[in-house]
Amino acid sequence: MATAKQPQQGIVRKSVKIFWRVFLFGFLGFIAILLMANFGVFGKMPSIEELENPSILQSSEVYAEDGTLMGKYYLPNGNRSIVKYRDISPHVVNALIATEDKRFKDHAGIDMKGTFRAIVFLGSQGGGSTITQQLALALFNQRATNKALRVMQKLKEWIISVKLERNFTKEEIIALYLNAVPFSENVFGIRNASRTFFQKEPDRLTVEEAALLVGMINGPGIYNPRRNPVASRDRRNLVLTRMEENGNITAAEATKFKAAPIKLNYKKLDENTGYAPYFREVLRDEVKTLLKSGDLKKPDGSSYNIYEDGLKIYTTINPRMQEYAEAAMAAQVPVLQKALVAQSKVKNGSIWKDRDNVLERAMKESDRWKNGVEDGLSDKEIKASFYVKTPMKIFAFNKTHEKDTVMTPYDSIKYHRTMVQSAFMVMDPITGEVKAWVGGINFKTYKLDHVNMRTKRQVGSTIKPLLYTQAMEERGFEAETMCENSAQYFPGSGWVPAGKACPGGSITMANALAWSKNCATAYIMKQVGPKEFAEFLSRINIPTKVEPFPSIALGSCELSLFEMLWGYTMFAGRGFTTKPYFISRIEDRNGNVIKRFDYSANRKEAISEITAYKMARMMEGAVTKGTAAGLKGRLGAAEMAGKTGTTNDNSDAWYIGYTPQLLGGVWVGCDDRFIRNEGNGGFGGAASRPIWEYFFKKVYADRTLGINRDEKFIKPAELENEMSSADALVSDYDATPGAESEDQGVGTGADYMYNDFETDSKPYIDPDAPTGTKPASKDTAQKKSPSKDPNSKPIGSDATEPKKKKGFFKKVFGKKE
């Protein structure tokens, strides 16, 4: 028997030795694998420095001057805003720990009990990943689908988790986790989730709100409360149960919270929502250009990325002024739209006669056409699809700015192109700070921003104050200076105004400006000189090069609203032009200022303070008796100045006005310039001025803005005698202000023809013009010069006499003429 036991004992001893050898070698092999993983053999591992400064994709945020969040710039997976632990509701922390990792506060990154449970029950009783491990995956990896790779990835997560626990406190790990994880609607981070679903900061979340958000983490698509409310409620209630089990809430509280319906206050901040969407697009381009310049670098020498690095961009926009500006436009543009579509040409569709090229271009630029090309359809097949009635959403002047309808895509193009557009910008004329920016009627539908420098329109009579300023500054003109009210002949160009009889006689410069007299303005241009005026525009910092054609005196040149306000700053700015600016500072994700902006670098002395003051007082004539009559009185302002502007046939309607504290400019028109309100309601004083007036009425009523009705333009100490009031300077005329749009004069087809895609025709040369006359613009070409004799002058009625169109008012407004 003893002999039999010895071999058996030997076998046992040998088995034990084998076991321990396998265990030892397995353990050593496991340690070796961990070491190799740690040193990056199986893929790059984050360094200690990277762990201490985790690179979470973070959206850059745009703030108004009072700290209001206006919008963000982010990549599809980077829409997150970082929030500190102290700014997260304890209910969120409790819900997260109770649901995802009950022993979070007791382990060092790896929960061995949970890991073994997951292995034994194959995950049916819950996973083994701790919050720290989930954070490691969210920060540095994407979950592998291959099982073998997933095992290796799990080992790397363990290593990273241990390192995270050694380098961060439990509170910091919780904050990092909640900032990194995705929620429903492609929203990342607890702060964005809280703002999106409840319009509140995460420190103000209630128990049931916290449970709802934490419930999303396990399945953002499955537990979306908007799309799957039942599943979302059930998941919320499960989280509440876990919180009860963990002692965070009582049984009675859990029952109460579970019975409560889901109450959302949903509003997702995207490029189409938030404050000033047109402005934010311009701001995006400005910041990207700034970052590309190389002036701003991270501590490691690399460049910042506007979509990933969590920049905080502080702007000069005033939220209340922005709201008032948008409200002003929303109140006036529908009125103009109603008048436009009431015109017979628009109602019967004849406005599109001979405009097939415009519509075809629009078709080929549409998403429908591009999708058809990608699908391999022929041009004929794609074009045919534009004539098939289709259910669609179209823009509308209602609360949601859209409505459902059925129409052909071809009719949709005509519908959307027949919308009145508008632009409004407000700024401080002294500092240059932009306070409000509205680039169009609806950013979601119409992306073209009509404020920025790239969008230029004919400026009409808003150019006249700049010409009158030069006449006063350099030619000795005064408000009382008498000016010939006659057309002027410019050798090599022709008559200005072209083809319109002028009354002759004389008129004061103050009256000429207040009533926007084209004939007197041509006389002033004659004294100043086209070349000299074009150079003056450059000297006062107008960026666009204006060619020295005589017609620029009447506004035939094209400039942007941004540039026009830049030029007007010299009036309230006491002789200094100030470039509008809209960024005050930029911070990195940690709140360190990396760039600060100073307006003083944007100021340039352009004219004397005396001239600036005289022009401001003289321009009051337009808002008392002239083309914007009564505006100053209706607003109750002590002093105010402005100028209307209208181009041929009311294609562009302008009003630029200012007080000692605030400067604002409005443009109204259609993107296709052949679409226009041809009645008297379409000139600057009727179309654009109401937007400006509405805005300033709101601003004056809001005392928190500090814009005072009683402010006056500062009289220069060197000016001995006070100027006469506008009432004394300006006479009462029986004139139609809308006529300022008539006969813009002569330019060249290449520079000043309407850009309405009519034709590619060559400039017209008037056969009756005196020898040496330059080609006239297309609109001007339709009217002949009154005489071949360069010394003769047109005779007849005043330039401000309104045009009469037989039956027009009866057709449009149902009234007798």
The answer to whether the beta carbons of residues 468 and 461 sit under 8 Å apart is no
Supply the CATH number for residue 152's domain: 1.10.3810.10
Pair 100, 226 in one domain: yes
Considering only residues 279 and 272, tell me which one the structure prediction assigns the higher pLDDT: 279
Let me know if residue 561 belongs to a domain: yes
Instruction: Examine the fold and report which residue of 270, 287, 303 is the final residue of a domain before the chain moves on.
Output: 270
**Does residue 739 surpass a pLDDT of 80?**
no
Based on its alpha-carbon atoms, the radius of gyration of the chain, rounded to whole angstroms, reads: 35
Pair 581, 564 in one domain: yes
Let me know if residue 10 belongs to a domain: no
**Does residue 247 surpass a pLDDT of 80?**
yes
| pLDDT for the residue 762 | 32
Residue 490's contacts (CB-CB under 8 Å, 6 or more residues apart) are 496, 526, 530, 550, 746
Considering only residues 74 and 653, tell me which one the structure prediction assigns the higher pLDDT: 653
pLDDT digits (tens, 9 = 90+) for 56-111: 778 899 999 999 999 999 887 777 788 899 999 999 999 999 998 888 888 876 76
| pLDDT for the residue 42 | 54
| pLDDT for the residue 243 | 96
> Mean pLDDT throughout 407-418?
95
Residue 439 is classified by DSSP as -
> Mean pLDDT throughout 16-30?
67
> Mean pLDDT throughout 43-62?
70
pLDDT digits (tens, 9 = 90+) for 291-318: 988 888 888 888 999 998 999 999 999 9
Instruction: Examine the fold and report which residue of 417, 438, 470 is the final residue of a domain before the chain moves on.
Output: 417
Pair 363, 472 in one domain: no
Long-range Cβ pairs for the range 556-559 (8 Å, 24+): 556/458, 556/647, 556/744, 556/745, 556/747, 556/752, 556/777, 557/458, 557/459, 557/463, 557/747, 557/751, 557/752, 558/456, 558/457, 558/458, 558/459, 558/752, 558/755, 559/456, 559/457, 559/459, 559/463
Pair 552, 604 in one domain: yes
Tell me what percent of the residues of the chain surpass a pLDDT of 90: 62
Q: Beta 69-73 vs 652-658: how paired, if at all?
A: unpaired
Q: How many H-runs (helices) and E-runs (strands) does the chain carry? A: 32, 22
Pair 528, 647 in one domain: yes
| pLDDT for the residue 80 | 78
Rounded to whole angstroms, the Cα distance separating 597 from 507 reads 46
Rounded to whole angstroms, the Cα distance separating 484 from 493 reads 20
Pair 523, 636 in one domain: yes
Strand ranges of the sheet holding 421-427, from the earlier edge strand across to the other edge: 434-438, 421-427, 663-669, 652-658, 641-646
Pair 398, 431 in one domain: no
Enumerate the β-bridge partners of residue 188. Answer: 182
What residue spans of 573-630 are helical by DSSP H? 609-618, 620-624
Let me know if residue 510 belongs to a domain: yes
| pLDDT for the residue 607 | 97
Across 22-26, 81-85, 666-670, 716-720, the highest mean pLDDT is recorded for: 666-670
pLDDT digits (tens, 9 = 90+) for 147-161: 555 556 667 777 777
Range of the domain at 691: 421-781
pLDDT grade for 728, boundaries at 50, 70 and 90:
confident
Pair 580, 716 in one domain: yes
Residue 345's contacts (CB-CB under 8 Å, 6 or more residues apart) are 351
Total structural domains in the chain?
Answer: 3
Q: Which of 222, 184, 667 is nearest to 440 (CA)?
A: 667
**Does residue 25 surpass a pLDDT of 70?**
no
| pLDDT for the residue 53 | 59
| pLDDT for the residue 724 | 78
**Does residue 273 surpass a pLDDT of 70?**
yes
Instruction: Examine the fold and report which residue of 240, 270, 300 is the final residue of a domain before the chain moves on.
Output: 270
**Does residue 26 surpass a pLDDT of 80?**
no
Let me know if residue 338 belongs to a domain: no
Supply the CATH number for residue 577's domain: 3.40.710.10
Pair 392, 438 in one domain: no
Pair 240, 254 in one domain: yes
Let me know if residue 284 belongs to a domain: no
Pair 539, 523 in one domain: yes
pLDDT grade for 498, boundaries at 50, 70 and 90:
confident
pLDDT digits (tens, 9 = 90+) for 160-219: 777 888 888 899 889 988 988 889 988 889 999 999 999 999 999 999 999 999 999 989
Considering only residues 514 and 74, tell me which one the structure prediction assigns the higher pLDDT: 514
Considering only residues 56 and 30, tell me which one the structure prediction assigns the higher pLDDT: 56
| pLDDT for the residue 23 | 64
| pLDDT for the residue 602 | 85
Pair 391, 454 in one domain: no
Q: What global pTM score does this model have? A: 0.78
Long-range Cβ pairs for the range 195-200 (8 Å, 24+): 195/81, 195/269, 196/266, 196/267, 196/268, 196/269, 197/225, 197/264, 197/265, 197/266, 198/264, 198/265, 199/265, 199/267, 200/265
pLDDT digits (tens, 9 = 90+) for 776-792: 333 333 333 333 333 33
